[in-house]
Amino acid sequence: MTHQGELFSADPPDTLALERAAYSLGFSRIAGVDEVGRGPLAGPVMAAAVILPVGMTINGVDDSKKLSHSKRERMFDVIMCHALSVGIGSVSSTVIDQINILQATRLAMLSAVLQLGLQPDYLLIDGISTINSTIPQKTVKKGDSLSLSIAAASIIAKVTRDRLMTSMDREYPGYGLAGHKGYGSAQHLEAIRLLGPSPIHRLTFGGVKEHVS
């Protein structure tokens, strides 16, 4: 007899399938790449690139958006301990205003790859945007749920940016940056209205540009 729950059950995705496909083509140093911070009104957009040992699995690593703060912090330490190499890239709000958020995101991802201490020979990039590199690369929609390497990069990028925004809250008090991390919460929008934009706000973004004098 088939139980009702079994009719709707689904096998979890094989989060090493994309890596194995690249290994089968002869690549061995595969970097997962992901970004965080496209939507906030303040702070940088950041990206991370992570090269894991061939065949390594890490229980608990998933799209950073699906994990609690405490689990992201734990997984950050595990990834940093076991990864062959980790690179982090950051592009400031000033540059975002100059070149637009899409190009800034691509630049942050490229910077993360360039910061790797081990040269990758293949890139798995979350999303649909390639980067300006001669390294063979594959973009993957929802890659942070489909690739362990990309998921690891998403955790590194998210935790790094969250920590940075918490420190910026002390430098630019009154906006609540430690809580919303620069995203456009009601509290944040009201603070911008009352205080005006800070030096780390994105002056071309709605919710900020209206208050630029």
Question: Is 19 contained in some domain?
Answer: yes
The 10s digit of each residue's pLDDT in 33-47 is 999 999 999 999 999
- Is residue 100 assigned to a domain? yes
Per-residue pLDDT tens for 174-184?
999 999 999 99
Please check whether residue 118 lies inside any domain of the structure.
Answer: yes
CATH number at residue 104: 3.30.420.10
Q: In total, how many domains does the chain have?
A: 1
Whole-structure pTM value: 0.92
The yes-or-no verdict on residue 124 having pLDDT over 50 is: yes
| Domain range enclosing 116 | 8-172
- Is 208 inside any structural domain? no
Average pLDDT over residues 172-193: 98
Sign of CA dihedral 186, 159, 103, 199: positive
Residue with tokens 């699995």: 57
Confidence class for position 12, pLDDT limits 50, 70, 90: low
- Among 123, 94, 95, 93, smallest CA distance to 109 is for 123
Tell me if 92 is assigned to some domain.
Answer: yes
Mean pLDDT of 192-204: 98
Read off the pLDDT of residues 55-85 as tens digits, 9 standing for 90 and up.
888 888 876 788 888 999 999 999 999 999 9
Residue 32 lies in a domain: yes
Asked whether residue 187 is domain-assigned, the answer is no
Non-local CB neighbours of 149 within 8 Å, separated by 6+ positions: 18, 19, 30, 31, 32, 50, 51, 52, 124
From 182, 153, 38, 164, select the one nearest 96 (Cα to Cα): 38
| Average pLDDT score over the chain | 93
Is 27 inside a domain boundary?
yes
